[in-house]
Amino acid sequence: MLATLARFDDISAARAWLYRQRFREAGMLGQALYLEAEACRLQGTGIGCYFDDVVHDALQLDTTRFQDLYHFTVGRAVVDARLGSETGYAHLEERARARTADWLADWLTG
């Protein structure tokens, strides 16, 4: 796993744009890693949601000078038959079918 750290101690009210810039740069690095992983016949995934403090403790970062912005992993996919995929909003489609069936039954028995 790769952790992307960025300098944050130089961001001030006058240079607030640096905050977004650092995240943009982390995203560009992540995109390059996606492309390189695929070119090497591997897969990669970016992780942007995690517990920052735990990562900072593990890296022994005891300052706010650097902040952890983005993680990235590279490897080969493992197919796990216990996991499944559904189309987006599949649960809503099932509810709509159930409501339609209930309505039809009420109408027929009237």
* pLDDT at position 4: 86
Residue 92: inside a domain: no
Q: In the prediction, which pLDDT does 84 show?
A: 84
Whether residue 48 is contained in a domain is answered as yes
pLDDT of residue 96: 80
Which residues, other chains included, contact 91 with Cβ-Cβ below 8 Å and sequence gap of 6+?
A: none
66 forms beta bridges with: 7
Residue with more model confidence, 83 or 88: 83
* Domain presence at residue 106: no
Please state the domain count of the chain.
1
Q: pLDDT tens for residues 22-58?
A: 999 999 999 999 999 999 999 999 887 778 888 888 8
User: Strands across the sheet with 66-75, in order?
Assistant: 2-7, 66-75, 43-47
Q: Quick check: is 73 in a domain?
A: yes
pTM exceeds 0.75 for this model: no
What residue numbers bound the domain in which 32 lies?
2-77
Residue 89, in any domain of the structure? no
- State how far Cα 80 lies from the chain centre: 20
- Residue 8 falls inside a structural domain: yes
**Residue 64 lies inside a defined structural domain of this protein:** yes
